[in-house]
Structure 1
């Protein structure tokens, strides 16, 4: 058997005209058998002036054994990181973690405070991780459906807060005992996740989903093209106003909700204190946060260039409003100049409504300000400022408590 060096030497000793003449003779005699293995072996040997029954090179394997190129084309490699399966696994993980939470709520852990805290933190981390995987998979599946379905997913995401608030109110109504309420609350969460697991399985069998997935599979792969390195600064200059508005919007929202809003006490409305925060804080905010997504179907106002005016007015009004309301009445020294229950309820509604409306506007404006090739990078930049808004809002929220303890 010839080595690579010997093959190169033998090729160099044969004139190109001889190789071409012998090759043309073989091609003309076996034109209809071009994919015959014996012919291919013989043709390769002709170019080396050495016809042999053994393969010329046996130390290079382009494919695994018993795996032909044709079989690769007919049976493409199976996609393992598939979105429906990730969603199912994420839901199962959430169900298991919620079951552990129910067990912790049912037993007395007063003697194991540190252990209980550590286990609770671990559960929170893994639950949020599973929820993130589920959400990303859900939006991934939605991307192959018609564009109108993305709105439905946004509505479903926003309605999650409404369902959570309703579950909290029902758990309080069923039993004033904190342990019993916790058992019902987390049990209802497991029930909802199980329903989502069942409906997810049904959804994958719907004709629309099957049709859309088949269309994706039937599309030929697009050749990859080398794109230049994205110019982040150039893209940022086009959307810097949107980024600033997103940061300020989320900062004001997170500063007030839920940290400050949940600690504003009622003054005149005749309702039990145990229902005041769940109803007029959490349920109120989440309902109007859901409603804030609706107007963008009919109008998007005032436009990307003037949106900062709306954001600034929102900041100047809602930023200090809740601190100047009946926030921490037993601890504060600063006068509560705006302590009014009805004003508080209205302000919470505006906070939730404007939060959702402005965010939907931002996601509509961003692609319109960028070239098609820059939309992906622009979306990443927008998400960074969204995260910065959440981070800065959470940090500023720590200042609100000591702020009202001083007389100004």
Structure 2
């Protein structure tokens, strides 16, 4: 079948047989799982309208859809962690009437919530990213993507319902329920992320940047929504109600855009026809995907992504969310807006700028230098620990001024976005076309490992304060 495939493609390129006809005649053979092909759904298999060389991203629908899917990937994490005001209300000390904004003594659930949320997000993400490597050869792309997004939408709607449920009498149980919800949401997000990163490698680097930048834009979007809800003076529950509805609408829009995207000629050409052309670009038969070979090609990219995410999740948001303004108790800025504006909005804007910069300036070319740069970010861990994070029992505060924390956090986020996107963009260039999906899925696993180990370390680091 392989020899027939190469012959038919060569004939197609020579003009003796249309490529589409060759593709249609071989659909049933190509969609069999022989270890070297992704499992394609029916809509992607339909290549009857594709004309090689005459496809374009009409109205930039595919680009916009990848951007939005990047936002959807990060939506569970960004919306849950940014709604700090709401969670602090849910887990407040119900036996006191003191406002949580000026209450110096936080409850145990309030102090540990973000760290637990970090672990509940990162560990399942790692496990499901590994699972996704096996799913890509057994479950069709659309089945994976649509199933997890529909489940995410259901869980967000459930979260909206619980906003108006009085949980004061069962805070511990609600805490556990929230963590379980986060685990499932991030498991879905991991499968979605692995699937999207796998297919976007078949497109040009600007589409990889779109997915990566969409993740930062999702954080910005969540932070702005939270800030607006606080600015209008709504109660914590009313603000959260609107806030999580916005998250639900984002996921719903993502489902619609995905369905539209996979039915475009441009998408089918990049996923289907480019894969066929890859067979004709070799004098010998295409080999099955060898994971060890791919690993040897991309290990520097994997280590870079691991270290960047490990360093970031060590202290963000577990430690950074605890940093208080030097003017705490004196103004609304210090008491209400400091955390969402600086810890979430500033962080995500800086991260977004870093990712966009990497899309235009993908240096350094030497991958070892990229690895060294990722390790150098470890300096930010002690720097942020020495900022004004409260409560603390062991370390002294060295950087007590707001501007010091802002500069450190902005550089921290900027380097995170730049190094991650620069590394991921380089990955598809290191492997063959038919290895791209597995390669990017492996990179996603490295990212998952970094987040998991970082979040677990972050829980211990909070205890050092």
Query: Could you tell me the TM-score, scaled by structure 2's length?
Result: 0.60
Partner of residue 236, structure 2: 178
| Residues 1:105 and 1:376: Cα distance change in structure 2 (over 3 Å) | closer
Partner of residue 313, structure 2: 254
| Residues 1:265 and 1:180: Cα distance change in structure 2 (over 3 Å) | same
| Structure having greater relative contact order (Cα 8 Å, sep ≥ 6) | 2
Over the residues paired in the alignment, what is the CA RMSD in angstroms?
Answer: 3.8
Partner of residue 350, structure 1: 411
| Residues 1:374 and 1:150: Cα distance change in structure 2 (over 3 Å) | closer
Say yes or no: does 1:292 pair with 2:349.
no
| Residues 1:320 and 1:286: Cα distance change in structure 2 (over 3 Å) | same
Q: CA deviation at 1:360?
A: 2.3
* Residue deviations 1:23-78 (CA, integer Å, cap 9, x gap): xxxxxxxxxxxxxxxxxxxxxxxxxxxxxxxxxxxxxxxxxxxxxxxxx9698489
Q: Secondary structure at the match of 1:305?
A: helix
Say yes or no: does 1:391 pair with 2:449.
no
Q: CA deviation at 1:220?
A: 11
Q: Assess if the C-alpha contact under 8 Å between 2:387 and 2:405 holds in 1.
A: yes
Query: Could you tell me the TM-score, scaled by structure 1's length?
Result: 0.67
* Residue deviations 1:90-139 (CA, integer Å, cap 9, x gap): 33322221121111121223334455345433422332233333334434
Distance in 2 (CA, whole Å) between partners of 1:220 and 1:382 is 22
Say yes or no: does 1:103 pair with 2:161.
yes
Partner of residue 306, structure 1: 369
Q: CA deviation at 1:374?
A: 7.9
Distance in 2 (CA, whole Å) between partners of 1:88 and 1:218 is 26
More helix by share: 2
- Residue 337 (structure 1) aligned to one of 389, 392, 398: 398
Distance in 1 (CA, whole Å) between partners of 2:434 and 2:252 is 40
Q: Assess if the C-alpha contact under 8 Å between 1:367 and 1:375 holds in 2.
A: yes
- Residue 94 (structure 1) aligned to one of 148, 152, 162: 152
Partner of residue 283, structure 1: 345
Q: CA deviation at 1:346?
A: 1.3
Q: CA deviation at 1:378?
A: 6.3
Q: CA deviation at 1:277?
A: 0.6
Q: Secondary structure at the match of 2:393?
A: coil
Q: CA deviation at 1:183?
A: 0.8
Partner of residue 36, structure 2: none
Equivalent pairs counted in the alignment come to 329
| Residues 1:338 and 1:252: Cα distance change in structure 2 (over 3 Å) | same
Deviates more, 1:358-367 or 1:369-378: 369-378
| Residues 1:382 and 1:221: Cα distance change in structure 2 (over 3 Å) | closer
**For 1:59-208, what aligned pairs fall within 5 Å after superposition?**
76=28, 79=41, 81-113=139-171, 115-146=173-204, 148-208=206-266
- Find the structure with the greater CA-based Rg: 1
Q: CA deviation at 1:375?
A: 7.2
Q: Secondary structure at the match of 1:265?
A: coil
Distance in 1 (CA, whole Å) between partners of 2:251 and 2:295 is 40
Partner of residue 323, structure 1: 385
Deviates more, 1:136-145 or 1:168-177: 136-145
**For 1:215-226, what aligned pairs fall within 5 Å after superposition?**
215=273
Distance in 1 (CA, whole Å) between partners of 2:295 and 2:199 is 28
Q: Assess if the C-alpha contact under 8 Å between 2:163 and 2:240 holds in 1.
A: yes
Unaligned runs of 5+ residues in structure 2 are 1-23, 32-39, 43-138
Deviates more, 1:221-230 or 1:181-190: 221-230
* Residue deviations 1:158-212 (CA, integer Å, cap 9, x gap): 2111111112212222344221122111111112222223333443454533555
